[in-house]
Structure 1
Amino acid sequence: MCCEHLICANCARPVSEGRCSVCRDHKERMHQGGSVSTSALTAVLLTLLVAVAFLTTTMH
């Protein structure tokens, strides 16, 4: 979910503007979650590449 479509209950402004402390805190939390999923995706892709490499070497 993107924070540009969220409205802050504290200041009634878009969260993406970060006008109050509640907006800034929520925006920071939303943007921190993206780095975890990127690293998890990278780990899964590397595992798949290693598995494919192992299978291709054992089949020859």
Structure 2
Amino acid sequence: MTCDRLVCANCAGPVNEGRCAVCRASRERLQHQNGLFAGLSPAALIALLVTLVAVALLAHQTA
């Protein structure tokens, strides 16, 4: 999950701006929870998946 669209319940501002201490704490917590592919957009993940499938098919055909 990203904090792009999250709204802070404390200050009603976007969490990614970090306007208050609650926003900053939530943003830090989310950044530590994110994994390897968390920063990629869904479109980038789909493109990566399609590329991996294409490489697997090519490897299977040449073997």
Same fold (TM over 0.5): yes
Give 1:36-47 correspondences, 5 Å limit: 37-38=35-36
- What is the RMSD computed on CA atoms of the aligned residues? 0.9
Give identity over the alignment, percent.
53
User: Matched residues in 2 for 1:9 and 1:33: separation?
Assistant: 20
Structure 2 portions without partners, runs of 5+? 37-63
User: Matched residues in 2 for 1:32 and 1:2: separation?
Assistant: 11
Which runs of structure 1 show a deviation greater than 2 angstroms over 4 or more consecutive aligned residues? none
More helix by share: 1
Q: TM-score, normalised by structure 1?
A: 0.56
Q: TM-score, normalised by structure 2?
A: 0.54
Instruction: Tell me what 2:4 maps to.
Output: 4
CA deviation vs aligned residue, 1:13-49 (integer Å, no higher than 9, x gap): 0000000000000000000012xx43xxxxxxxxxxx
Structure of greater relative contact order (alpha carbons < 8 Å, 6+ residues apart): 2
Q: Number of matched residues?
A: 36
